[in-house]
Structure 1
Amino acid sequence: MLYLGVDLGTSAVKLLLMDGQGEIRKIVSREYPISFPHPGWSEQNPEDWYEKSIEGIRELTKDVDRSEVAGISFGGQMHGLVVLDEKDEVIRPAILWNDGRSTKETDYLNEVIGREKLSAYTANIAFTGFTAPKILWMKENEPEKFARIRKIMLPKDYLAYRLSGTFCSDYSDASGMLLMDVKNKCWSKEMMEICGISREQLPDLYESYEVVGTLKKEEAKKLGLPESVKIIAGAGDNAAAAVGTGTVGEGMCNISLGTSGTIFISSRKFQVDRYNALHSFAHADGYYHLMGCMLSAASCNKWWMQDILGTSEFTKEQEKIVKLGENQVFYLPYLMGERSPHNDPMARATFTGMTMDTTREEMTQAVLEGVVFGLRDSLEVARNLGIQIERTKICGGGAKSLLWKKMVANIMNLKVDVIESEEGPALGGAILAAVGCGEFESVEEAAAKLVKVVETVEPDEDLTEKYEECYQKFRKIYPALKPVFRKIVS
Structure 2
Amino acid sequence: MLYIGIDLGTSSVKILLMEGDGTVKKIVSREYPLSFPKPGWSEQNPSDWYTQTMDGLKELLQEADKSQVAGISFGGQMHGLVILDKEDNVIRPAILWNDGRTTEECDYLNHTIGTDKLSEYTANIAFAGFTAPKLLWLSKHEPDNFAKIDKIMLPKDYLAYRLTGVHATDVSDASGMLLLDVKNRKWSQEMCDICHISIEQLPELFESYEAIGTLKADVAAELGVSTQVKVAAGAGDNAAAAVATGTVGEGKCNISLGTSGTIFISSDKFRVDDNNALHAFCGANGKYHLMGCMLSAASCNKWWMDEIIGSKDYAKEQEQITKLGENHVFYLPYLMGERSPYNNPDARAAFIGMTMDTTRADMTQAVLEGVAFALRDSFEIAKALGIPLERTKICGGGAKSPLWRTIVANVLGIPVDILETEEGPSLGGAMLAAVACGEYASVEEAASKIVHVIDTVEPTVELTEKYEQCYTKFTKIYPALKEIFPDIK
The one-letter amino acid of 2:5's match is: G
Cα displacement (A) at 1:175: 0.5
Query: How many Å separate the matches in 2 of 1:471 and 1:5?
Result: 39
Give structure 1 regions of 4+ aligned residues with deviation exceeding 4 angstroms: none
1:446 maps to 446
Give a deviation string over 1:129-181, Cα, whole Å, max 9, x none.
11111111111111111111111111111110111111000000000100000
Task: Look up the equivalent residue of 1:162 and give its one-letter code.
Answer: R
Given residue 20 of structure 1, which amino acid in structure 2 is its aligned partner?
G
Contact 1:10 1:77 (8 Å CA) reproduced: yes
CA–CA distance in structure 1, aligned partners of residues 306 and 10 of structure 2: 19
| Greater shift in the superposed pair: 293-302 or 455-464 | 293-302
Instruction: State how 1:398-437 maps to structure 2 within 5 Å.
Output: 398-437=398-437
Alignment-derived partner of residue 298 in structure 1: 298
2:18, 2:430 within 8 Å by CA — same for their partners in 1?
A: yes
2:88 paired residue number: 88
CA distance in 1, matches of 2:146, 2:336: 27
SS state at 2:242 partner: helix
Instruction: Say which is worse superposed, 404-413 or 79-88, in terms of deviation.
Output: 79-88
Offset at residue 309 of structure 1 (A):
3.0
On the 8 A contact 2:250/2:387 being kept in 1, the answer is no
- Which residue is 2:158 aligned to? 158
TM superposition shift of 1:111: 0.6
The alpha-carbon distance between structure 1 residues 363 and 48, as it changes in their structure 2 partners (threshold 3 A), is farther
Measured in 2, the distance between the counterparts of 1:473 and 1:36 equals 39
The answer to whether the 8 A contact 1:128-1:345 is kept is no
Report the AA paired with residue 211 of structure 2. Answer: V
State how far apart, in whole Å, the 2-side matches of 1:56 and 1:307 are: 34
One-letter amino acid matched to 1:374: A
Offset of residue 86 of structure 1: 2.1
Could you tell me which residue of structure 2 aligns to residue 75 of structure 1? 75
Residue 321 of structure 2 corresponds to which residue in structure 1?
Answer: 321
| C-alpha distance in 2 between matches for 1:166 and 1:360 | 55
Partner secondary structure for residue 264 of structure 2:
strand
How far residue 38 of structure 1 moved from its aligned partner, in angstroms, is 2.4
User: Kindly tell me: are residues 32 and 352 of structure 1, through their superposed partners in 2, closer, same or farther at Cα, counting changes over 3 Å?
Assistant: farther
Shift of residue 304, structure 1, vs aligned partner: 2.2
Structure-2 separation of matches of 1:24 and 1:335: 36
Q: Which residue of 2 aligns with 1:248?
A: 248
- What is the distance in 2 between the residues matched to 1:331 and 1:99? 26
* Residues 72-151 of structure 1 mapped to structure 2, 5 A cutoff: 72-151=72-151
The answer (yes or no) to whether the contact 1:98–1:295 under 8 Å persists in 2 is no
For residues 102 and 32 of structure 2, what CA distance do their matches in structure 1 show? 24
Instruction: Provide the C-alpha distance between the structure 1 equivalents of 2:306 and 2:16, rounded to a whole number of angstroms.
Output: 29
- Secondary structure of 2:483 counterpart: helix
Q: What residue in structure 2 maps to residue 192 of structure 1? A: 192
Q: Secondary structure at the match of 2:16?
A: strand
Amino acid in structure 2 at the alignment position of 1:486: P
Residue pairs, 1:25-424, within 5 angstroms: 25-424=25-424
Counterpart of 1:146 in structure 2: which amino acid?
F
- Superimposed CA distance per residue, residues 372-422 of structure 1 (whole angstroms, 9 cap, x where no aligned partner): 111110011112222221100111222222111111101111110111111
- Paired with 1:52 and 1:398, the residues of 2 have a C-alpha distance of 28
Task: Give the drift of 1:226.
Answer: 1.9
Shift of 1:425: 0.8
The size of the alignment, in residue pairs, is: 489
* Contact 2:267/2:387 (<8 A) preserved: no
CA contact (8 A) 1:106 1:126 kept: yes
TM-superposed deviation, 1:30:
1.8
Inter-partner Cα distance in structure 1 for 2:28 and 2:342: 37
TM-score (norm 2): 0.97
Greater shift in the superposed pair: 278-287 or 249-258: 249-258
Instruction: Indicate conservation of the 8 Å contact 1:394/1:418, yes or no.
Output: yes
Contact in 1 for aligned 2:271/2:385 (Cα 8 Å): no
% identical aligned pairs: 70
- For residues 371 and 228 of structure 1, the distance between their equivalents in structure 2, rounded to whole angstroms, comes to 46
Query: Secondary structure at 1:483's aligned position in 2?
Result: coil
Query: Does 228-237 or 356-365 show the bigger shift?
Result: 356-365
The aligned runs of 1:453-468 (5 Å cut-off) are 453-468=453-468
Q: Which amino acid aligns with 2:240?
A: A
Question: Match of 2:474?
Answer: 474
Contact 1:115 1:125 in 2 (8 A): yes
SS in 1 for 2:406: helix
**Residues 1:34 and 1:327: Cα distance change in structure 2 (over 3 Å):** farther
Deviation at 1:355, TM superposition (A): 2.8
1:4 is paired with a residue whose SS is: strand
The one-letter amino acid paired with 1:439 is E
Alignment pair present for 1:484 and 2:462: no
Whole-angstrom CA distance in 2 between matches of 1:359 and 1:116 = 46
Letter in 2 for 1:4: I
Secondary structure at the aligned position of 1:440 is classed as coil
Q: Which residue in the other structure is 1:21 paired with?
A: 21
How far 1:482 sits from its partner (Å)? 1.1
Q: Residue deviations 1:24-61, cap 9 Å, x none?
A: 11112222222222222222222222222112211211
| Contact kept? 2:410, 2:467, Cα under 8 Å | yes
TM-score by length of 1: 0.97
Distance of 2:111 and 2:202 partners within structure 1? 26
CA contact (8 A) 1:332 1:350 kept: yes
Aligned equivalents of 2:38 and 2:463: distance in 1? Answer: 45
CA contact (8 A) 1:75 1:428 kept: yes
Instruction: State the secondary structure of the residue aligned to 2:114.
Output: helix
Rounded Cα–Cα distance in structure 1 between residues aligned with 2:45 and 2:309: 32
Shift of 1:62: 1.0
Give the match's secondary structure for 2:444: helix
- Give me the whole-angstrom Cα distance separating, in 1, the residues matched to 2:102 and 2:300: 23
DSSP-derived class of the 2:18 partner: strand
Shift in Å, 1:311: 3.1
How far does residue 472 in structure 1 lie from its aligned partner after superposition? 1.2
Q: State the superposition RMSD in angstroms.
A: 1.3
